[in-house]
Chain A
Amino acid sequence: DADVTQTPRNRITKTGKRIMLECSQTKGHDRMYWYRQDPGLGLRLIYYSFDVKDINKGEISDGYSVSRQAQAKFSLSLESAIPNQTALYFCATSDNQAVNYGYTFGSGTRLTVV
């Protein structure tokens, strides 16, 4: 099994629908992150969590919410999806030594909003 698992891998949804992307990890890391990737823009941070009781907004949190259900699980929700949320979404984890060791990424969820 992968260290960081994202489900679903691909999803097409309609404008206005609520959708949840899920992430689970077996790394034992306390810190989890959600990024979106758009062509020419690199990766941008949506939300991050340093432990189960800690949730923080990233640079592009509008239109998104998250839930940290357990140390190993961090889900991202789009309450009312819109077409410009079409992107590749990545979950990542790290311990508190991220400055030295970086992050572990999942394989991504490709979301299309029509």
Chain B
Amino acid sequence: GDSVTQMEGPVTLSEEAFLTINCTYTATGYPSLFWYVQYPGEGLQLLLKATKADDKGSNKGFEATYRKETTSFHLEKGSVQVSDSAVYFCALSDPRTGANNLFFGTGTRLTVIP
């Protein structure tokens, strides 16, 4: 079945450091891939998405490229800020299932220190 595996946290970085959070997926079809962010005390918000191979999603300085050959969708940011401290979830949606359900990874907590 469909699944998402993302790197375990927590991740602690200094401000302006480079961020990578790894995400790999398993799907027999051609899923859409998403990164969601959860700030403290809030629900999940869509950060970026990619719907086909080689697409690059980007938002707020974050980027992720849909790599079909490595079944990956790693999240990157060149210079993190304290305000980026949150939990990040990788997710996929497989249209073949007919349900459009989102399958989530376990989440990676990022803490950015000044």
Q: How many A-B residue pairs have CB under 8 A?
A: 63
Q: Which residues of A contact B (CB under 8 A)?
A: 4, 31, 33, 40-45, 48, 56, 58, 90, 92, 94, 96, 98-108
With A42-B107, A100-B32 as given contacts, are A106 and B43 in contact (CB-CB < 8 Å)?
A: yes
- Across the interface, A102 reaches (CB within 8 A) one of B95, B102, B107, namely B102
Complex-state Cα separation, A33 to B107, whole angstroms: 19
Q: Which of B19-41 contact A (CB under 8 A)?
A: 31-32, 34, 36, 41
- CB-nearest residue of chain B relative to A98? B100
Asked if A31 and B100 make an inter-chain contact with CB atoms under 8 angstroms apart, the answer reads yes
**With an 8 A cutoff between CB atoms, is B89 at the interface?**
yes
Asked if A42 and B106 make an inter-chain contact with CB atoms under 8 angstroms apart, the answer reads yes
Complex-state Cα separation, A108 to B91, whole angstroms: 18
**With an 8 A cutoff between CB atoms, is B69 at the interface?**
no
Asked if B105 and A99 make an inter-chain contact with CB atoms under 8 angstroms apart, the answer reads no
**With an 8 A cutoff between CB atoms, is B45 at the interface?**
yes
CB<8 Å pairs between A and B, sample of 5: A43-B89, A99-B31, A99-B100, A101-B46, A107-B41
- CB-nearest residue of chain B relative to A96? B100
